[in-house]
């Protein structure tokens, strides 16, 4: 007699599942939830925690697609990703034909952006509100080391993000997982899954991660500022590692910080300096704002990604970005192991509002 059936025999007539068969997945789910409760007690998600200091490498996509290792299986499929979250996002449509060189168009938009003036709002706290989706992958194993025989699972999770950063490095990040489009299945599984994917924390970040109120306004100085973001050795500006470092720091900048017109113009000139940057045509972002889409491919340590940006035609503002994994080295954490066929759009983010507010937690 196994542990679950032993418990049911003790419950006798009070067993809420009386008359229902206990199969292998039920027993695995019970064990996994019990282990998780033991591992996370007394608190699942502490409010105060130290965020890691990045070394300026390709942290964003690596974090998005990295496998999370757990024991057993849980609700809805391997490693607890409900089936409702399995569908990949639909990339935004582009209405033109073949992409064309984009540097000149980006430089022209940079001139437009430079006339934009100060970022909106009042105060000394940076605030960015955004919405989108991210890929979440999991490897479920019971041994000490993962193997090809382990279960793999992947899901695309919708999020709303709110981020605040004060001048001294005090931050708050509020991440809320969105409702599933398909709500079939166990309601409790969905609720538990969403709760585990949401977070609200405050911290004080390392001084190397604190961006000054006034950023450089020329492309070369902005590039150096992006390369120097985070703690660790700064890669040479002309090295292959520099492109990955700059593009990931640039994404972090857009995600977490409002920009005035001159600062925005400098970031667009940085993008224009990437080899092979392309203009893909007019489009609309997910909240129906008109813009133009630019894309650049970046070779990183173990993968090649394509980064796309939708820019407002009238202001040069960044409305949207996404990241598509084009190539990767095979391995335990590869997307191929998780049943996904490349290319895969691993994340997208729509920028709803960015500006300055008086206090952390304030909204416009």
**What per-residue confidence (pLDDT) applies to 337?**
82
Dist. CA 267–CA 281, nearest whole Å? 20
Q: Could you tell me if residue 248 is inside a domain? A: yes
11-25, 101-115, 331-345: range with highest mean pLDDT? 101-115
Cα(289)–Cα(261) distance, integer angstroms: 19
**How many domains are contained in the chain?**
1
Instruction: Report the alpha-carbon distance of residue 302 to residue 300 in Å, rounded.
Output: 6
**pLDDT reported for residue 144:** 58
Looking at per-residue confidence, does 275 or 52 come out higher? 275
Q: Per mean pLDDT, which range of 145-149, 239-243, 357-361 is the poorest?
A: 145-149
Greater confidence, 107 or 20?
107
User: Domain for residue 175, yes or no?
Assistant: yes
What is the chain's mean pLDDT, rounded? 76
Per-residue confidence (pLDDT) for residue 340, from 0 to 100 = 86
pLDDT for 267 beyond 80: yes
Q: For residue 211, what pLDDT band results from cuts at 50, 70 and 90?
A: confident
Minimum mean pLDDT range among 179-193, 206-220, 321-335: 179-193
Tell me what pLDDT residue 36 has.
43
337 is a domain residue: yes
DSSP 336: T
User: What SS3 string covers 297-325?
Assistant: EEECCCEEEEEEEEECCCCCCEEEEEEEE
Reported pTM: 0.76
Could you tell me the pLDDT band of residue 155, with boundaries at 50, 70 and 90? confident
Question: How far is C-alpha 253 from the chain's CA centre?
Answer: 13
104 compared with 39, residue with greater pLDDT: 104
pLDDT of residue 55: 32
Domain-located, residue 362: no
pLDDT of residue 328: 93
For 251, residues 6+ apart whose C-beta sits below 8 A from its C-beta are 60, 307, 321, 323
Who wins on pLDDT, 285 or 4?
Answer: 285
Say if 7 falls within a structural domain. Answer: no
Of the pLDDT bands very low, low, confident and very high (cuts 50, 70, 90), residue 219 is: very high
Q: Which residues contact 223 (CB under 8 A, 6 or more apart)?
A: 237, 246, 270, 273
CB atoms within 10 A of CB 172: 19
Give the tens place of pLDDT for each residue, 100-150: 999 999 999 999 999 999 999 999 999 999 999 898 877 665 555 655 555
Query: 340 in a domain, yes or no?
Result: yes
Choose the weakest-confidence range: 135-149, 195-209, 345-359.
135-149
- pLDDT score for 29: 47
Residue 22 lies in a domain: no
Segments forming the whole domain that contains residue 285: 45-357
What integer is the mean pLDDT of 194-217? 85
Domain membership of residue 28 (yes or no) is: no
pLDDT over 80 at 323, yes or no: yes
Output the CA–CA distances (angstroms, integers) from residue 216 to 241, 244, 263, 281, in the order listed: 22, 20, 7, 29
């Amino acid at each position: 007699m196994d542990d679950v059936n032993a418990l049911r025999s003790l419950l006798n007539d009070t067993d809420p599942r009386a008359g229902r068969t206990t199969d292998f997945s039920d027993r695995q789910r019970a064990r996994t939830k019990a282990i998780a409760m033991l591992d996370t007690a007394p608190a699942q998600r502490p409010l105060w925690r130290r965020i890691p200091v990045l070394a300026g490498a390709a942290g964003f996509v690596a974090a998005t697609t990295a496998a999370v290792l757990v024991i057993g299986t849980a609700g809805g499929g391997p490693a607890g990703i409900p089936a409702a979250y399995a569908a990949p996002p639909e990339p935004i449509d582009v209405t033109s034909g073949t992409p064309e060189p984009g540097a000149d168009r980006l430089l022209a938009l940079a001139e437009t952006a430079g006339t934009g003036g100060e970022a909106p709002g009042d105060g000394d706290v940076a605030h960015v509100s955004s919405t989108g989706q991210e890929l979440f992958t999991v490897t479920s194993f019971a041994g000490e080391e993962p193997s090809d025989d382990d279960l793999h699972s992947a899901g695309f999770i919708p999020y709303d993000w709110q981020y605040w950063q004060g001048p001294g490095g005090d931050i708050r990040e509020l991440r809320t997982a969105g409702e599933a489009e398909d709500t079939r299945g166990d309601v409790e599984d969905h609720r538990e899954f969403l709760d585990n994917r949401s977070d609200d924390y405050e911290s004080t970040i390392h001084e190397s991660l604190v961006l000054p109120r006034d950023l450089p306004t020329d492309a070369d100085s902005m590039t150096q500022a992006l390369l120097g973001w985070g703690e660790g050795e700064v890669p040479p500006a002309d090295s292959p590692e520099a492109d990955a470092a700059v593009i990931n720091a640039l994404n972090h900048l857009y995600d977490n910080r409002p920009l005035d017109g001159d600062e925005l113009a400098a970031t667009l000139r940085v993008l224009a300096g990437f080899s092979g940057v392309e203009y893909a045509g007019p489009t609309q972002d997910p909240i129906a704002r008109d813009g133009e889409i630019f894309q650049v491919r970046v070779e990183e340590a173990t993968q090649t990604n394509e980064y796309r940006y939708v820019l407002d035609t009238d202001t040069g503002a960044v409305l949207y970005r996404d990241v598509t994994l084009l190539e990767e080295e095979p391995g335990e954490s590869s997307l191929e192991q998780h049943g996904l066929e490349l290319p895969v759009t691993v994340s997208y983010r729509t920028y709803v509002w960015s500006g300055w507010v008086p206090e952390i937690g304030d909204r416009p």
